[in-house]
């Protein structure tokens, strides 16, 4: 059994995309994380060392999104999952990457990709 810890709405500014304007000007990306972990050790000890420091993890995710521009959101969202799974207490992660300002020539609300990854081999 695992518990779920969510960190939603992590705002980032990055230069990902296939079009020159996206690379040059950048745009907003928003990340939602849901982490699967056992929170019982932290509940028993009341010690941050027995759980995921979601503040530090959030900053690592933000840094991963804002570094090294790539073409596809698929690449960025996998990068995020890889960073989260470096935390040994996380058993699995569900990552949603929102690209609300994607260059689509019509009215839309959001573009979002969600993946789920587990610890261990792909």
Strands, E assignment, 15-90: 27-37
Strands 112-118 and 92-98: antiparallel
For the purposes of burial, counting CB atoms within 10 Å of the CB of 90, is it exposed (0-12), middle (13-18) or buried (19 or more)?
Answer: buried
Active site residue 99: yes
Pick the closest to residue 87 from 48, 53, 39, 122 (CA basis): 53
The catalytically annotated residue of 47, 99, 104, 117 is 99
Catalytic residue positions?
A: 99
């Amino acid at each position: 059994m695992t518990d779920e810890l969510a960190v939603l709405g992590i705002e980032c500014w990055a230069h990902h995309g296939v079009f020159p304007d996206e690379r040059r000007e950048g745009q907003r990306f928003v990340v939602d994380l849901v982490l699967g972990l056992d929170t019982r050790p932290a509940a028993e000890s009341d010690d941050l060392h027995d759980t995921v420091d979601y503040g530090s993890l959030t900053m690592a995710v933000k840094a991963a999104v804002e570094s090294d521009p790539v073409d596809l959101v698929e690449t960025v969202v996998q990068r995020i999952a890889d960073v989260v799974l470096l935390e040994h207490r996380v058993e699995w992660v569900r990552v949603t990457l929102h690209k609300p300002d994607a260059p689509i020539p019509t009215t839309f609300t959001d573009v979002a990709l969600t993946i789920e990854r587990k610890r261990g081999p792909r």
